[in-house]
A and B are shown apart, each in its own frame.
Chain A
Amino acid sequence: MISSGVVVVGFIPLLDCAPLVAAVEKGFANDEGIDLTLVRETSWANIRDRVVVGHFDAAHMLGPMTLASTLGIGHLQVPMVAPLSLGLGGNAITVSLPLWQQMERAGAAGGADPLVQGNALRHVVADRQLSRRPPLTFAMVYPFSCHNYELRYWLSAVGIDPDRDVRLVVLPPPLLVDALREGQIDGFCVGEPWSSLAVSVGVGSIVTPTTAIWHLSPEKVLGCRREWAGRFPERTAALVRAIHRAAEWCEQPSHHEELAHLLSEPKYVGAPAHILLRGLSGSLTLAPGSEARHIENFYVPSRHAATFPWVSHALWFYSQMVRWGQAEFSDRDVEAVRATYRPDLYRAALAPLDVNLPHDDFRAEASPDGFFDGRPFDPARLREYAASP
Chain B
Amino acid sequence: MLEEKTSNDAGLHILIVDQNVMRAAILEDGLREAGYRRVTVVRDMQNLMRRIVDNDPDVIFIDLENPNRDVLEQMFQVSRSVRRPIAMFVDRSDTDMIAAAVDAGVGAYVVDGLKKERIKAVLDMAVSRFNAFSKLRDELERARAALDERKLVERAKGILMTSKGMSEEAAYALLRKAAMNENRRISEVAQSVVTAARLLK
- Verify that A and B bind, or say they do not: yes
Which residues of A approach B to under 8 Å, CB–CB?
A: 42-46, 49-50, 52-55, 72, 74-77, 141-143, 169-172, 174-175, 184, 326
Interface of B is mostly: helix
Q: Verify if B92 is at the interface (C-beta below 8 Å from A).
A: yes
Q: Which residues of A contact B113 (CB under 8 A)?
A: none
CA–CA, A42 and B71, complex, Å: 12
Q: Verify if B178 is at the interface (C-beta below 8 Å from A).
A: no
Q: Verify if B94 is at the interface (C-beta below 8 Å from A).
A: yes
Q: Verify if B66 is at the interface (C-beta below 8 Å from A).
A: yes
Pairs A–B under 8 Å by Cβ, sample size 22: A42-B64, A43-B64, A43-B67, A43-B68, A44-B70, A45-B73, A49-B102, A55-B103, A72-B90, A75-B90, A76-B88, A76-B92, A141-B70, A143-B77, A143-B78, A170-B71, A171-B71, A172-B67, A172-B68, A172-B71, A174-B67, A175-B67
Q: Which residues of B contact A142 (CB under 8 A)?
A: 70, 74
Q: Which residues of A contact B69 (CB under 8 A)?
A: 42-43, 45-46
Minimum CB distance partner of B94 in chain A: A76
Interface of A is mostly: loop
Chain A nearest CB from B120 CB (Å) reads: 16
Q: Is the CB of B70 within 8 A of A45?
A: yes
Q: Verify if B65 is at the interface (C-beta below 8 Å from A).
A: yes
CA–CA, A184 and B66, complex, Å: 19
- For chain B, the bracket of interface size reads 20 to 34
Q: Is the CB of B92 within 8 A of A49?
A: no
Q: Is the CB of A53 within 8 A of B95?
A: yes
Q: Is the CB of A169 within 8 A of B67?
A: no
CA–CA, A141 and B67, complex, Å: 10
Q: Verify if B89 is at the interface (C-beta below 8 Å from A).
A: yes
Q: Verify if B42 is at the interface (C-beta below 8 Å from A).
A: no
Q: Is the CB of A42 within 8 A of B77?
A: no
Q: Which residues of A contact B107 (CB under 8 A)?
A: 45-46, 49
Q: Is the CB of A49 within 8 A of B98?
A: yes
Q: Which residues of B contact A174 (CB under 8 A)?
A: 67
Q: Is the CB of B71 within 8 A of A77?
A: no
18 more A-B contacts (CB under 8 A) besides A55-B102, A142-B74, A170-B74? A42-B64, A42-B66, A43-B68, A45-B69, A45-B70, A46-B69, A53-B95, A53-B103, A75-B90, A76-B89, A76-B90, A76-B92, A76-B94, A143-B74, A143-B77, A143-B78, A174-B67, A184-B46
